[in-house]
Chain A
Amino acid sequence: MPEPMLAIAGVNTHIGQYHILQGVDFEVPRGGLTMLLGRNGAGKTTCLRTIMGLWRASAGSIRVDGHDITRAATPDVAQLGVAYVPENMGIFAGLTVEENLRLAARAGEPDASRLEWIWRLFPAMKTFWHGLAGNLSGGQKQMLAIARAIVEPRRLLLVDEPTKGLAPAIIANMVEAFRELKRTDTTMLVVEQNFHFARSLGDTVAVMDSGRIVHTGRMDALAADAALQTRLLGLSLDAHQ
């Protein structure tokens, strides 16, 4: 069995006096898309931020592609090939679309063929290439945030709620973009509240509750089990219709 791209074992994270992650264990298989689901406040965002080194794990271990990154600084995690799209998208509003992408291309200028591919995925990025990122719509900002994360090939892509606040048409566009990304060898861990989005893209799933992983398995198995959805997420897929 191949080594997982991401292996998290017994991770605890404290933020001030609060004990948020309480022994998180799960693995993200190489090359697929793993959905991290859970109710609000379950610890999903904290989990992504802990992987990125933005918050420090107080116990446990985190390994990316065999490298121990538990105590690694955020730039070191990024240089290992981990890209992060935060919940607030983290775009630089005062920079142009071009500058946002140029900054993310650590090797220098973005590769031309890679750029063409990104423009095909998100045509708005080409249209507003010289425009200020702060002037983009919410959906376009999310596209820019994802485009920035994939401007160079990455080992692992961490995305926090990519569909939050987006119109259905934009979400459909986002689904297509993630499908295209799945055809590359990038491994993805995506936090999501939109179960339809999660079901249509996820290969595997991990469900969090109260700072712990309470379920891991195949996404299609969870999608087919309404009782399990109700127990884990408080709502079944039918209730989302």
Chain B
Amino acid sequence: MKKDWTPLALVPVIALVALPLVGSAPTWVTLTVAGLAMGMMIFMMASGLTLVFGLMDVLNFAHGVFISVGAYGAATVLTRMSRQMEAEGLASDLSAMIPAVLAAIALAAFLGWFFERVLIRPVYGDHLKQILITMGGLIVFEQLIHVVWGPDIIPLPRPGTITGSFIVGEAAIERYRVAAVVVGLAVFAAMWLVLNRTRIGLLVRAGVENPEMVESLGYRIRRLFVGVFVAGSGLAGLGGAMWAMYQEQVNAQMGAQVLVMIFIVVIIGGLGSVGGCFLGALLVGLLANYTGYLAPKLALGSNILLMVLVLLWRPRGLYPIGKA
């Protein structure tokens, strides 16, 4: 099987180009780890959206609210488990973090199910209505977050195990960023295994290419749609929880604030491509950190420039899906 390895080279190329520009090796290491961590968190938030885009052809601008709701779900659990958080040790931290992450996933997944059933199902096949109704849904649910959790920013305590830094040589590496990289890699590995080693994954990959043919083979693609939408929303919730712990605060607009970056990642990767999304997220994370250090005013612009360059090179993204 012929594999296309060329886009994978972009990650080391960007990192190596940044090294002489940054100048200091320890700073470069810190920025690289920060970029990879940011990329992993963006991947978690974006991976569901790319599948929803690819499989269902749905432009879901409400994806941001799944991120916010996931963050609030995690914050709610973590603030109620402050006693476990105060106790030292990995076990007590995990006893607070695992329920928090599960709450984030469950809440966002439930909201995703509600959105698919109530808002998106009536507008399948109509992109303009999808944009309008999901933007409307985003605004309404951001306000509902204010109703439920209040309008103020909620500070989010980070468990002690993943707080602080450790020093490697002269480089300071934040523990939380390493944890984010580990969780991101685990999510990517799990998604890869499901997509490539299970029948459901085979159906999803086929459905992204040609849903009509999947139906012609006797499978009910609608059920698959709902499952993917719910799973994608749950992943956004997980990403939201991770992002909130990274920022150590939660607010209703946090999902909408990263939505532009998520769309850039989805487009760079190729609509519907999980592998492309992973690579795109790493590129965006690294570039945002390097340019944030070298030329802060260009941080967001650099990602748009990256998208433009990628699309000039590969108009359908780094790993396009052969859609029928």
Which positions in A face B, CB cutoff 8 Å? Answer: 52, 54, 73-75, 78-79, 84, 86, 88, 90, 92-96, 99, 102-104, 106, 130-132, 134-135, 148
Q: Would B322 and A134 count as touching, CB distance under 8 A?
A: yes
Q: Would B216 and A92 count as touching, CB distance under 8 A?
A: no
B202's partner among A75, A90, A99, A106 (CB-CB below 8 A) is: A99
B183-211 CB mask vs A (1 if < 8 Å, else 0) is 00000000000000000001101101110
Q: How many Å lie between the Cα of A131 and that of B1 in the bound state?
A: 5
Residues of A within 8 A of B218 (CB): 75, 78-79, 106
* A78-B215 contact in complex given A95-B206, A103-B203, C-beta closer than 8 Å: yes
Q: How many Å lie between the Cα of A182 and that of B321 in the bound state?
A: 36
Residues of A within 8 A of B217 (CB): 78, 103-104, 106, 148
B296-324 CB mask vs A (1 if < 8 Å, else 0) is 00000000000000000000000001101
Residues of B within 8 A of A94 (CB): 205, 208-209, 321-322
Residues of B within 8 A of A74 (CB): 212, 215-216
- Number of A-B residue pairs with CB-CB distance less than 8 Å in the complex they form: 66
B209's partner among A92, A104, A130 (CB-CB below 8 A) is: A92
Q: Would B322 and A103 count as touching, CB distance under 8 A?
A: no
Q: Does B121 contact A (CB under 8 A)?
A: no
Q: Does B219 contact A (CB under 8 A)?
A: yes
B247 → chain A, closest Cβ, in Å? 36
Task: Determine chain A's interface SS by DSSP, over half rule.
Answer: mixed
Q: Does B179 contact A (CB under 8 A)?
A: no
B276 → chain A, closest Cβ, in Å? 12
A7 → chain B, closest Cβ, in Å? 21
A85 to B, closest residue via Cβ: B216
Residues of A within 8 A of B220 (CB): 73, 75
Q: How many Å lie between the Cα of A54 and that of B212 in the bound state?
A: 8
Q: Would B202 and A102 count as touching, CB distance under 8 A?
A: yes
Residues of A within 8 A of B1 (CB): 96, 130-132
Q: How many Å lie between the Cα of A148 and that of B206 in the bound state?
A: 13
B208-249 CB mask vs A (1 if < 8 Å, else 0) is 111011111111110000000000000000000000000000
Can you report 30 A-B residue pairs in the complex whose CB atoms are below 8 A from each other? Answer: A54-B212, A73-B220, A74-B215, A75-B215, A75-B219, A78-B215, A88-B324, A90-B213, A90-B216, A90-B324, A92-B205, A92-B206, A92-B213, A93-B209, A93-B322, A94-B205, A94-B209, A95-B202, A95-B209, A102-B202, A103-B214, A103-B217, A106-B217, A106-B218, A106-B219, A130-B1, A132-B2, A134-B322, A135-B2, A148-B217
B125-150 CB mask vs A (1 if < 8 Å, else 0) is 00000000000000000000000000
Q: Would A103 and B206 count as touching, CB distance under 8 A?
A: yes
> Total interface residues on B, using CB and 8 Å?
22
B263 → chain A, closest Cβ, in Å? 22
B113 → chain A, closest Cβ, in Å? 22
B213 to A, closest residue via Cβ: A90
Q: How many Å lie between the Cα of A78 and that of B216 in the bound state?
A: 6
Residues of B within 8 A of A99 (CB): 202, 205-206
B207 to A, closest residue via Cβ: A92
Q: How many Å lie between the Cα of A134 and that of B221 in the bound state?
A: 22
Residues of A within 8 A of B321 (CB): 94
B272 to A, closest residue via Cβ: A94
Given A90-B212, A131-B1; 6 other pairs, CB 8 A cutoff: A75-B215, A90-B213, A92-B209, A103-B202, A103-B203, A132-B2
A38 → chain B, closest Cβ, in Å? 22
Residues of B within 8 A of A130 (CB): 1
Residues of B within 8 A of A93 (CB): 209, 322
Residues of B within 8 A of A52 (CB): 216
Q: How many Å lie between the Cα of A106 and that of B214 in the bound state?
A: 11
Residues of B within 8 A of A88 (CB): 324
Residues of B within 8 A of A78 (CB): 215-218
B203 to A, closest residue via Cβ: A103
Q: How many Å lie between the Cα of A103 and that of B213 in the bound state?
A: 11
Q: How many Å lie between the Cα of A135 and that of B221 in the bound state?
A: 26
Q: Would B205 and A95 count as touching, CB distance under 8 A?
A: yes
Q: Would A84 and B205 count as touching, CB distance under 8 A?
A: no
Q: How many Å lie between the Cα of A96 and that of B1 in the bound state?
A: 8
B219 to A, closest residue via Cβ: A75
B165 → chain A, closest Cβ, in Å? 42
Residues of A within 8 A of B322 (CB): 92-94, 134
Residues of B within 8 A of A90 (CB): 210, 212-213, 216, 324
